[in-house]
Structure 1
Amino acid sequence: MCTRVLWNTNDLAVLTGRTMDWPESTQPLIVGFPRGRERNGISPAGPVDDPNPLRWTSRYASLVTTIYGVGTVDGLNEAGLAGHGLYLEATDYGARDDSRPAVQAGLWLQYLLDQAATVAEALALMEDVELLKIRVRGRDANIHVALEDVGGDSAIIEFADGRAVVHHGMQYTLMTNDPTYDEQLKSLAAQDFSHPSREIPLPGNVNAVDRFQRAAYYSALLPKPTTERQAIASVMAIMRNVSVPFGAPYAEFGVYNTEYRTVTDLTNRMYFFELTTSPSIIWAEFDRLHLDEATGPVSVDPYDDSLVGDVTDRFAPVTLAF
């Protein structure tokens, strides 16, 4: 069901980790999109007809992980904004207002990465846009989004009763799934993980509330890094801790196993990806990607067993529907 952890208090870099938890493969591709790409906010949602789709041309290049070929669920842009879409059953986008342009949920995050340089800019963009729920492979795309920028700012955006509920500030570093973020914060307030020790009892289940609190504990436990490598390893360690074992039986436990983990380094514009069924972490350097409007997007498939380490030079042109 996914977890996001932001580390914006160390002296080296603004870092974010996330897990992707789902009962089947999301068919991820790691894609570099050049700026200048024209998009329709409804396609490729499948059999969806809308009278007023949002249309835009991307201002910023981005490096993202896609989901089922219908949208973006994780990534960063060249301006220093990153975002992560996680599942939230309680999501309610509300009734469609045809007078306002709409973007389907799978392209929500891509729209923000295309058009915003900061968290504040992304929040401003949301004021004039409708979110449209789609159904993919038999499941509703009920998502909430976490955003952060290179300055360390952060925001959590959820939709309840048809309106956006926003938690904006550097202190909002964690996100999992249901219940809503307000309720997660209330549950966390009942614990004190600000001074972690080995005597503190730690929630150990795989449900969203326990993962939220466990992420809070380990985030407070992070040592001051002296190298970027140490910082990346620290965040990845938390993401592994809150992961669900691959192949966990959903029918018995009501949870989804972790398909992959990512760590985003906004300061150095690096993107790290760990597929749970692969022995190797791979990564890409944004600044070395050859992103050109004329040649279009480029990608690597993380299920390619030949990939290991720095894969920046392995990106190749790809045709996508969005």
Structure 2
Amino acid sequence: MKLKTITLALLAASFTSGIAHACTSVSWNTELGTFTTRTMDWMESTKPVLGNINKGDIRSIQGNGLGDTYTVKYDMVAVFAYGELVGDGVNSEGMQVNTLFYPDMTMQDVTSDSDITQFTFAEYLLANYASVDEVVKALPDLKYGSIMMDGMPVEMKLHWSVTDKSGDRLVIEMDEDGLNTYRGDEAQVMTNDPSMKEQIETRNKVQPTWENSTRDTDYGSIGNGNSPSRFVHASYFASKLTEPSSVRNAMMKLSTVPFRVPADAPYKDFGNGQGVSTYATEWTLTQSLETGDSVFEYNFEDAWNTVQFNVYDMMGKEFRLPLTESYMVKF
């Protein structure tokens, strides 16, 4: 067994003190299929890379060559962060996983080589399952374990959304009382802490104010970047979407729904002696799970670019494409 704290060189070299996640993920079922959008809100560049993992590849269940190995069942195209960590991806069956920060995650430490870690959970689901229903059936039998990484200023605690082409959606959280899942309409929006249970309860209290709303309606958000406000914000604006006229129109509409955290926005004091840390929306990814069309928008440091691609056209190939480089047309 490899029970020691591990180091992932590509990760450790990239992290700085005071990192925090604050993201939003939204799905939308329409007559033209299911669409998703998510923001990555972060303290620094995660050095996102678009890449692939292919059917038949042999992968380590805990990452970085640790733990048992398994054979990948489905091709996937994913956004890798800090090297080879799969945070978001779509597999060849049209199932997507988003990974978001969740400081309330409760997961026991890794105890065996067969444990899936919080860092490899998204990749494992994409590699092995074709639908939300398959994931739901598999979850009770999967074994999980948390690991620490040298060089990380805060413990990385996560939760996940799983969305498939049928429009089914699942949010997975690991809490003190065990594994909790939220499925269907109640799972269409997710942010970070507190738990989905509490977020949904808050939304249910303010939702009656959304009928016959105008620009002056107080829909429940206090207008800042904290998770409960972003949850209500995205839920409210998602509820106002009307049927799209095209796939492109649907993607454009949905991309406007999440609260995008402005550059240099203050976040919180992590007690590391550096005072209040700032964060912003580093990138946004909007996708059609029916057609595979994807738009990746990167807005961080000196980069301001938009990359368009189709995940299904890229399945089964070998590539790693940096998403921090500007591909915007210059006139």
What is the TM-score when the length of structure 1 is the normalising length? Answer: 0.85
Which residue in the other structure is 1:112 paired with? Answer: 125
Say whether the 8 Å CA contact 1:4–1:174 is kept in structure 2: yes
Say whether the 8 Å CA contact 1:93–1:162 is kept in structure 2: no
Say whether the 8 Å CA contact 1:32–1:63 is kept in structure 2: yes
Mapped to 2, the partners of 1:60 and 1:194 lie a distance apart of 41
Query: How far did residue 54 of structure 1 move?
Result: 4.1
Q: How many residues align?
A: 294
Aligned to 2:104, the other structure's residue is in SS state coil
More deviation, 195-204/117-126: 195-204
Provide Cα deviations, 1:192-233, integer angstroms capped at 9, x if missing partner: 165361142131111000000000110011122111111010
| Pairing 1:84–2:84 present | no
Say whether the 8 Å CA contact 2:75–2:315 is kept in structure 1: no
| 1:289 alignment partner, one of 314, 319, 331 | 314
Provide Cα deviations, 1:173-209, integer angstroms capped at 9, x if missing partner: 0000010111111111111165361142131111000
Which residue in the other structure is 1:210 paired with? Answer: 229
- Cα distance 1:140–1:40, how it changes in 2: closer, same or farther (>3 A)? same
Provide Cα deviations, 1:245-285, integer angstroms capped at 9, x if missing partner: 12324456666311101012100012221101344321211
Q: Which letter maps to 1:191?
A: V
| 2:252 alignment partner, one of 220, 228, 233 | 233
Which residue in the other structure is 2:264 paired with? Answer: 247
Aligned to 1:276, the other structure's residue is in SS state strand
Q: Which letter maps to 2:192?
A: N
Which residue in the other structure is 1:12 paired with? Answer: 32
Mapped to 2, the partners of 1:67 and 1:227 lie a distance apart of 31
Say whether the 8 Å CA contact 2:42–2:280 is kept in structure 1: yes
| 1:298 alignment partner, one of 307, 315, 319 | 319
Say whether the 8 Å CA contact 1:13–1:266 is kept in structure 2: yes
Mapped to 2, the partners of 1:196 and 1:229 lie a distance apart of 28
Which residue in the other structure is 2:169 paired with? Answer: 154
- Cα distance 1:133–1:255, how it changes in 2: closer, same or farther (>3 A)? farther
Q: Which letter maps to 1:197?
A: S
What is the TM-score when the length of structure 2 is the normalising length? Answer: 0.82
Mapped to 1, the partners of 2:139 and 2:82 lie a distance apart of 24
Say whether the 8 Å CA contact 1:77–1:114 is kept in structure 2: yes
Trace 1:92-131 onto structure 2 (pairs within 5 A): 92-98=106-112, 101-131=114-144
Which residue in the other structure is 1:2 paired with? Answer: 23
Percent identical residues: 24
Q: Which letter maps to 2:138?
A: L
Which residue in the other structure is 2:11 paired with? Answer: none
Aligned to 1:256, the other structure's residue is in SS state strand
Query: How far did residue 299 of structure 1 move?
Result: 1.9
Could you list the runs of 5+ residues in structure 1 that have no partner in the other structure? 310-322
Mapped to 2, the partners of 1:260 and 1:217 lie a distance apart of 22
Mapped to 2, the partners of 1:56 and 1:122 lie a distance apart of 17
Which residue in the other structure is 1:62 paired with? Answer: 76
More deviation, 248-257/265-274: 248-257
Mapped to 1, the partners of 2:148 and 2:28 lie a distance apart of 33
Query: How far did residue 170 of structure 1 move?
Result: 4.1
| 1:280 alignment partner, one of 305, 316, 328 | 305
Aligned to 2:206, the other structure's residue is in SS state coil
Mapped to 2, the partners of 1:70 and 1:262 lie a distance apart of 18
Mapped to 2, the partners of 1:213 and 1:299 lie a distance apart of 36
Say whether the 8 Å CA contact 2:76–2:315 is kept in structure 1: no
Q: Which letter maps to 1:257?
A: A
Where in structure 1 do 4 or more consecutive aligned residues deviate above 6 Å? none
| Pairing 1:143–2:190 present | no
RMSD of Structure 2 on Structure 1 (CA): 2.1
Aligned to 2:130, the other structure's residue is in SS state coil
